[in-house]
Chains A and B, each alone.
Chain A
Amino acid sequence: MAERFTSIDDVTARLRSVDYLASSQISSVAFLADRLEKPILVEGPAGVGKTELAKALAAITGSRLIRLQCYEGLDESKALYEWNYKKQLLRIQADRQHEASWKDLEADIFSEEFLLTRPLLEAIRSTEPVVLLIDEVDRVEIETEALLLEVLSDFQVSIPELGTIEGATTRPIVILTSNNTRELSEALKRRCLFLHIDYPDIEREKEIVRVRVPEIDASLAEQIARVVRSIRQIDLKKAPSISETIDWARTLIYLGHTTLDPATITETLHVLLKYQADITKAVKELNAPSGLKKS
């Protein structure tokens, strides 16, 4: 087992070097995932950097990122492997005149050449270091979840025609993300380290903006973080994500704004919020005389 990190601080520092600001909780869990060889299940609202975490971990460990995007109806043939039967069919047809024996033919068409590897198998077989990202795992059906479980616990796959394929010596770092549209099975949760990422507090969000948009000055970053916190407190269909905050900061810089005033916010709010109803509501709330809010 190769230990990828020397300490928790090492994780934090290296994540920071690729512009990912991890809270101490995030670094600790990443560190443990490496040491315990367990997958991390990351939950949290959309756009708090769940997928980004996987990418950052891949970057700092020099691994290839293999991504399995989950969706309803995802099955073995899309997640694990599939025989390329169109090609097999062609092979059989091309062979007709030669009258090759069935045995040879069978051995031939069920060989590597006709195997389509899908993300899970690819991650297992890979000889180079890998970070496996299983994105939005809450979208798959229970049956597929069971398949994932099996693969994640043994890290090997049996293909009847080829035999058992075992993983390389180093297990990949596995990250599963969930938007919580349904409750995942207890069995899956038990096997994972659980990490809930929430919207960052003002200090961290400000830092993130400053790291990702280096040309911004501190006071604007602070103002941005405050306005975003304010907007997140309004009851909206979709609260602004971190990436949207960053986009907003970039937009403001691009337009040459150095401070935020209501007019500027109203003009550029569509970068932060994507529903017209949300924009209208936020503009109304932000421009209302504040006074005491009912808690």
Chain B
Amino acid sequence: MASEPLALAHSETEMLDVLQGFVHELRTAGLPVSMTENLDAMRALEHIPMGERDAFRAALASTLVKHERHWKTFEIVFDIYFGLLAQPGPGDGSGDDEADLDAAGDGEQAEGEGALTELSAEELAQMLLEALMADNRDALRRLAAAAVSLYAGMEPGRPVGGTYYLYRTLRQINFDGLLQQLQEQSKSRGRYPEEDLDRRLFDEELQARLKKLRDLVESEIRRRLVEDRGSAALAKTLRKPLPEDVDFMHASREEMAAIQKAIEPLTRAMAARLAQRRRRRRRGTLDFRKTVRASLSYGGVPADPKFKHPRPSKPEIMVVADISGSVASFARFTLMFVYTMASQFSKVRSFVFIDGIDEVTRFFEESGDINEAVYKVNTEADVVWVDGHSDYGHAFEVFHERFARQVSPKTTILFLGDARNNYHAPQSWVVRELSKRARHVYWLNPEPRGYWDSGDSIVSEYGRFCDAVHECRNLRQLEQFVARIVEH
């Protein structure tokens, strides 16, 4: 099916050049490729028969990409690089990937690109709907290309990112409304299931097809961008920060989702690491019973002394978080993080405030689902006192009045917020009082250090009574901090 990608390499040296070019692209896109991996890829290609695109891709992937999260970037670079080299003719499907295009209905749609670009908007919409209903992937691919020609309005040399064109195209084909249209179509043809469950499964199938369409449009746009600007320029736009490096305060919706996804594995890895370190740290006192028991296998000689494992006490955590607009996402992720780690603490209590303060521990205890709990915190907690603008002073006063007596020498208090107090009275004596009662008091600030104490930020006013104030702009910093408090 796709024999082109290797046809471009007529000799071995040419193949080497192609490979070096590809590795260079990968590195430009931010993937680390070492020398040995590069050599391995070369050796691997010697064993791959010419013309097998899937095998070719697998050989490169398994030798050059060693992280799952780099996989997506690899695929894109692969498609750009080899798609472009192999297929100079437009519309000849760079989406010709591993998807088994058994090409149902290949015949009727074979008029080619020329015919499709002539389509009017209504015809295109109609044909798209048909192709989606019939799950005709080949037609879908052509229609995606046609939609891009018709709607994306791509102009050569225009310095606009691919997402802009994608957005334009998807809006014009009414992508968000397509699901509903498909459902209605199926209903009118009597194919829409009656039962809730079947309906759900049916909808999911439709969604899967729509996702395919979206991918097709995206890769078509990418292909045209490469034609316009060259792959090197495009590879640069692929470089994205890892989820753990994304700034909480400026994360896009997609990045937020990525951060949320990254929390769980991160905490899992951290818990494993901590458990290991705890076990290896300082052995306890001699365990006499076990030692005697073990000595029996050496004829009564205590050759293998056994020790007791010390069980360090776990800290009790109180999280006091500002959840006003500017820092809400930071508070959200920190709460999630802390609760995912709940087993590392003897107890976790959480409080949220804007200008009023409310305890929200109950939300987390009631529902086993952290997302749901965070949602409830944002909708149900009673945090507005006067006007819903941050007032740290008042919130702290109330906290002191209602909860200070429950702070014990086992408690570690975390304050989360940017300390932008809207020029209210700071009431920093509360923090001073708490620091006398608690084991540790920390302040986490999601703002870059350079912004601290500028404008209405009074983080140092509070910070001088804390054990430490940390900048905490991304998951990585948050993780480092939590690891530290769990250990002490």
What is the interface of chain A, defined by CB distance below 8 A to chain B? 7-8, 24-25, 28-29, 31-32, 35-36, 38, 40-41, 43, 72, 86, 89, 93, 141, 180-183, 186, 189-190, 192-196, 202-203, 223, 226-227, 229-230, 233, 235, 260-262, 265, 277, 281, 286-290, 292-293
Contact B66 A36 (CB under 8 A): no
Taking the complex as formed, is B191 at the interface, i.e. its CB lies under 8 A from any CB of chain A?
no
Stretch among B192-200, B319-327, B472-480 lining the A interface: B192-200
Contact A290-B58, Cβ < 8 Å, known A93-B299, A182-B269: no
Taking the complex as formed, is B297 at the interface, i.e. its CB lies under 8 A from any CB of chain A?
yes
B-side contacts of A93, CB under 8 Å: 299
User: Could you say which of A196, A202, A288 contacts B68, with CB atoms under 8 Å apart?
Assistant: A196
Smallest Cβ-Cβ distance to A226: which chain B residue: B201
Q: Whole-angstrom distance from the CB of A26 to the nearest CB of chain B?
A: 8
CA distance A12 to B89 in the complex (A): 33
Stretch among B42-50, B120-128, B144-152 lining the A interface: B42-50
A-side contacts of B268, CB under 8 Å: 181
User: 9 A–B contact pairs at CB < 8 A?
Assistant: A32-B59, A36-B43, A86-B297, A183-B269, A194-B65, A196-B71, A233-B204, A262-B196, A292-B179
B-side contacts of A41, CB under 8 Å: 66
Smallest Cβ-Cβ distance to B367: which chain A residue: A277
Q: Whole-angstrom distance from the CB of A171 to the nearest CB of chain B?
A: 15
User: Could you say which of B62, B195, B272, B298 contacts A28, with CB atoms under 8 Å apart?
Assistant: B62
User: Could you say which of B37, B40, B61, B205 contacts A25, with CB atoms under 8 Å apart?
Assistant: B61
User: Could you say which of A181, A192, A261 contacts B272, with CB atoms under 8 Å apart?
Assistant: A181
Contact A190 B196 (CB under 8 A): no
CA distance A40 to B369 in the complex (A): 37
Contact A24 B68 (CB under 8 A): no
A-side contacts of B265, CB under 8 Å: 180
Contact B200 A230 (CB under 8 A): yes
Contact A25 B199 (CB under 8 A): no
Contact A229 B55 (CB under 8 A): no
Contact B205 A8 (CB under 8 A): no
Contact A195 B62 (CB under 8 A): yes
Q: Whole-angstrom distance from the CB of B46 to the nearest CB of chain A?
A: 8
Q: Whole-angstrom distance from the CB of B113 to the nearest CB of chain A?
A: 28
Smallest Cβ-Cβ distance to A25: which chain B residue: B58
Taking the complex as formed, is B371 at the interface, i.e. its CB lies under 8 A from any CB of chain A?
yes
User: Could you say which of A28, A72, A89, A290 contacts B203, with CB atoms under 8 Å apart?
Assistant: A290
Taking the complex as formed, is B241 at the interface, i.e. its CB lies under 8 A from any CB of chain A?
no
CA distance A182 to B277 in the complex (A): 14
A-side contacts of B63, CB under 8 Å: 32, 193-194
Contact A28 B196 (CB under 8 A): no
Smallest Cβ-Cβ distance to B193: which chain A residue: A290
B-side contacts of A72, CB under 8 Å: 276
Contact B199 A290 (CB under 8 A): yes
Interface of A is mostly: helix
What is the interface of chain B, defined by CB distance below 8 A to chain A? 34, 36-37, 40, 43-44, 47-49, 52, 54-55, 57-59, 61-63, 65-66, 68, 71, 98, 100, 179-180, 195-197, 199-201, 203-205, 207-208, 265, 268-269, 272-273, 276, 297-299, 368-369, 371
Contact A230-B201, Cβ < 8 Å, known A25-B54, A36-B43, A194-B62: yes
CA distance A41 to B68 in the complex (A): 12
| Best-buried of A7, A28, A189 by chain B (most CB within 10 Å) | A28
CA distance A86 to B301 in the complex (A): 12
Contact B59 A28 (CB under 8 A): yes
Contact A194 B66 (CB under 8 A): yes
CA distance A260 to B199 in the complex (A): 13
Contact A89-B197, Cβ < 8 Å, known A24-B98, A25-B58, A28-B55: no
Q: Whole-angstrom distance from the CB of B353 to the nearest CB of chain A?
A: 28
Contact B54 A261 (CB under 8 A): no
User: Could you say which of A29, A35, A182 contacts B58, with CB atoms under 8 Å apart?
Assistant: A29
Contact A8 B66 (CB under 8 A): no
B-side contacts of A235, CB under 8 Å: 369, 371
Q: Whole-angstrom distance from the CB of B448 to the nearest CB of chain A?
A: 27
A-side contacts of B207, CB under 8 Å: 293
A-side contacts of B368, CB under 8 Å: 277
User: Could you say which of A89, A262, A292 contacts B195, with CB atoms under 8 Å apart?
Assistant: A262
Contact A182 B98 (CB under 8 A): no
Contact A190-B66, Cβ < 8 Å, known A28-B55, A226-B204: yes
User: Could you say which of B34, B48, B68, B276 contacts A43, with CB atoms under 8 Å apart?
Assistant: B68
Contact A189-B62, Cβ < 8 Å, known A7-B49, A24-B54, A182-B269: no
Contact A31 B34 (CB under 8 A): no
Q: Whole-angstrom distance from the CB of A237 to the nearest CB of chain B?
A: 9
Q: Whole-angstrom distance from the CB of A167 to the nearest CB of chain B?
A: 20
CA distance A100 to B100 in the complex (A): 74
CA distance A227 to B180 in the complex (A): 21
CA distance A287 to B63 in the complex (A): 45
CA distance A182 to B23 in the complex (A): 27
User: Could you say which of A24, A38, A203, A288 contacts B196, with CB atoms under 8 Å apart?
Assistant: A288
Q: Whole-angstrom distance from the CB of B324 to the nearest CB of chain A?
A: 25
| Best-buried of A223, A226, A288 by chain B (most CB within 10 Å) | A226
Q: Whole-angstrom distance from the CB of A127 to the nearest CB of chain B?
A: 26
Contact A28-B204, Cβ < 8 Å, known A35-B47, A183-B269, A287-B196: no
| Best-buried of B43, B65, B66 by chain A (most CB within 10 Å) | B66
CA distance A262 to B43 in the complex (A): 53
